[in-house]
Amino acid sequence: MAPPFSYQRLPERSIRVIKLLPSRRPTDALRCNILNVHLDHVASQPYEALSYVWGELTRQWPLDCDGKELLVTRNCHEALVSLRPRYLPRTLWIDAICIDQAGTPEATAERNGQVSIMGEVYFKSSRVLIWLGPGSGAVSNPVLFRYLRSLHLLSILEIGYPRLAALLEPVTWRLLDLNHGRLVKNKSSPILESLIVILNNPWFERVWTLQEVAFGRKCIVMQGSHALNWESLCLGYLAIPTRGLNRRAETDRLLSRWRLYLALRGRSIEAIPKSRFQGESQAEAELRLLAEIRNMKATIPHDRIYSLYALFQAMGIALPSPDYNKDIAAVFEEAVVSYIRCRQNMAIITLTSPPAEASGFPSWVPDWLTPGHYAEPLIWKLADFDAQPPITMKLTLTQETGNGRLGVMAKRLGIIKKLVCCPLVGESGLPRDAVYREFVQACSDWRRFISSGLTGHPYAEKNPRQIEAALLQAYHHAIPGDNALGPWYRWLRDGRRGAKMPVANAFLIEVAKRRRPTARWFIYVLDTGYCGVAGSGCVVGDAIALLPSLHPLVLRARPSSSSAGAEYRVVTPAYCEGVINGKLSTRLGELEETVLV
């Protein structure tokens, strides 16, 4: 029996690669040699980087490394068997083999250093091999891969030879079963089914894949013995019909992720050009990237941040160096503070609903451990209000920042003194007529509250009916006049003038179909006279503050404040009438230190 393989210390800016030895029979034992390569001299030792799913972590498959035994996982073993050449050695970089995965302090220190240069490892590889597994059934059928190659060739013709492509278009579209660039369901259903199976491969759920695709100068997708380039797969994804395909729902969860893949790399064979992250789309791209990692899988929680380390370096954002010895809460906190300081933008703290206090995470740190949708707490759609963050407030983090605290100079708008809950249709599971009576009663109370609660509004010269319309906008935004919700809104707004109550059945069906909220939201009035709309969780006594680069936030004072500035937990974002979009001028003397915990 061969002795176990032991790792030797790596020189600075060096990596290990394996030289996979050839074999003519797939049943032969896997053998390789391990070499050290300096990243500044990879031209003398080119290598391919493997991107794959680790799968089960049990290591029980032997690999002969320089005459010694190294155990690998099943997925790694299958990939090596498939990639092993018949005649000449093949040089590969595989993270599970080339980085010491032991739990010793020496191994952890090595992993910290290797993760910090991971983007460069993929960028300097001759190509990235995306291994989707051995494949089975329709997925391993070469018809799909041949089809995607043909689709890619058509795209090349359209870009390089538009006149020729226009002449060939009727023939090529008919042969490829395309209609205006979309696959035709009736003719291409086997291809569609196989493509959807590919897109639901666990590889697309890995958080590291974003970086691996972004930095790979050439990416090859492999399943079994079949291969095609990344651009062909992207075109296949874009050709999936958005309507008329009953399986499309299975790929909807991948849509935002694929937008990231296409934005980061798309058809380019270069690393991320900085031009892709300049202008108005830069912040949106970064925040979507940060939001999406909560829905991706990582073996170690720290990797939800460290997998983006090289990406954000390329974008000009300096994150702290990887350190797997740190507590996960500290890793998340440092990433948020680094982003805020670099981008002068606090929107990152509202990417998710605040973590529960019992979780041990500060309320201003996104909940990256719980899957969910982008900007989930904005259930009333702040965009409906044309609510842009203020641009007059300078973002300054105070000395209180650190150890789970985020100190910032903010404008306190007031304390909630009145709340009314906006009704939810069918929440109680009552019969339809009872639901309607309950809803009508709630709306009547709601209307009276709005009418009586706005008398002390600071902007008295503004028409109160315009304020009422703004507060109800979350529920009636862009409703057509002939829609069943139109009469309801007119009754809700003008009931005191004799407007007729809408018919129950048509109204309830329409609300349930088009505008049913997914969580409670509230109309509030502050002790200072301001009013607005806030999400679930707020209570009378909560404060609302305006922070730089953010919509107003509902904050709850922490009973045991120990610092000079009051401590608050974030509850939910809010809309406040008359204070956003630059409507409220803020002088430096009006700002108070607010410490978020």
pLDDT reported for residue 239: 72
Question: What sign does the dihedral 115-73-89-10 (CA atoms) show?
Answer: positive
228-238 average pLDDT score: 82
Q: Which residues touch 574 (CB under 8 Å, ≥6 apart)?
A: 524, 532, 533, 534, 535, 538, 544, 551, 552, 553, 554
- Give the Cα separation of 571 and 355 in Å (integer): 10
Structure tokens at 114: 């290797």
Q: How crowded is residue 73: how many other Cβ atoms within 10 Å of its Cβ?
A: 19
Per-residue pLDDT band at 281 (split at 50, 70, 90):
low
187-212 average pLDDT score: 82
Whole-number percent of the chain with pLDDT over 90: 33
pLDDT reported for residue 537: 84
- Give the Cα separation of 359 and 351 in Å (integer): 17
Nearest one of 202, 207, 213, 201 to 299, comparing CA atoms: 207
155-166 average pLDDT score: 73
Eight-class DSSP state of 206: B
Per-residue pLDDT band at 521 (split at 50, 70, 90):
confident
pLDDT reported for residue 271: 42
Q: Which residues touch 167 (CB under 8 Å, ≥6 apart)?
A: none
Cα 215 to its chain centre, rounded Å, is 19
Is there a contact between 296 and 354 (Cβ–Cβ < 8 Å)?
A: no
Question: Is pLDDT at 336 greater than 70 in this prediction?
Answer: yes
Distances (CA, A) of 341 to 50, 194, 317, 366, 397: 35, 45, 9, 16, 8
Where is pLDDT greater, at 3 or 269? Answer: 3
- Give the Cα separation of 577 and 457 in Å (integer): 9
Range of weakest confidence among 181-185, 243-247, 542-546 = 243-247
Structure tokens at 574: 């809010």
pLDDT reported for residue 385: 53
Q: At what angle do helices 485-494 and 464-471 cross, to 10 degrees?
A: 140
- Give the Cα separation of 382 and 317 in Å (integer): 27
- Give the Cα separation of 50 and 56 in Å (integer): 17
Per-residue pLDDT band at 318 (split at 50, 70, 90):
confident
Question: Is pLDDT at 409 greater than 50 in this prediction?
Answer: yes
pLDDT reported for residue 10: 93
Q: Which residues touch 432 (CB under 8 Å, ≥6 apart)?
A: 504, 505, 508
434-443 average pLDDT score: 69
Element (H, E) at 418: strand 406-421
Question: Is pLDDT at 249 greater than 70 in this prediction?
Answer: no
Is there a contact between 49 and 93 (Cβ–Cβ < 8 Å)?
A: yes
pLDDT reported for residue 489: 65
- Give the Cα separation of 415 and 76 in Å (integer): 58
DSSP E strand boundaries for 125-233: 127-131, 178-179, 182-183, 219-223, 226-229
pTM of the model: 0.83
- Give the Cα separation of 367 and 140 in Å (integer): 38
- 459 φ/ψ sector (left φ>0, alpha ψ -120 to 50, else beta): beta
Could you read off the pLDDT of 90-109 as tens digits, one per residue?
A: 999 999 999 999 989 999 99
Could you read off the pLDDT of 556-594 as tens digits, one per residue?
A: 998 755 445 579 999 988 888 878 766 676 665 678 889
pLDDT reported for residue 324: 95
pLDDT reported for residue 44: 87
Is there a contact between 425 and 508 (Cβ–Cβ < 8 Å)?
A: yes
Distances (CA, A) of 494 to 210, 214, 299, 330, 448: 52, 55, 57, 53, 11
**Mean pLDDT in the chain?**
78
Structure tokens at 205: 């759920």
Rounded to a whole number of angstroms, the CA Rg of the chain reads 29
Per-residue pLDDT band at 331 (split at 50, 70, 90):
very high
Question: Is pLDDT at 223 greater than 70 in this prediction?
Answer: yes
Torsion angle of C-alpha atoms 340, 346, 351, 356, degrees rounded to 10: 90
Show me where the domains of the chain are located.
Answer: 14-131, 137-326, 390-463+519-596
Where is pLDDT greater, at 146 or 169? Answer: 146
Per-residue pLDDT band at 251 (split at 50, 70, 90):
very low
Question: Is pLDDT at 32 greater than 90 in this prediction?
Answer: yes
- 173 φ/ψ sector (left φ>0, alpha ψ -120 to 50, else beta): alpha
Could you read off the pLDDT of 477-509 as tens digits, one per residue?
A: 555 555 656 666 666 666 555 566 666 666 666
Where is pLDDT greater, at 311 or 301? Answer: 301
Question: Is pLDDT at 547 greater than 70 in this prediction?
Answer: yes
Is there a contact between 524 and 533 (Cβ–Cβ < 8 Å)?
A: yes
Is there a contact between 174 and 183 (Cβ–Cβ < 8 Å)?
A: no
Strands 178-179 and 48-51: unpaired
Where is pLDDT greater, at 12 or 549? Answer: 12
- Give the Cα separation of 63 and 66 in Å (integer): 10
Question: Is pLDDT at 156 greater than 90 in this prediction?
Answer: no
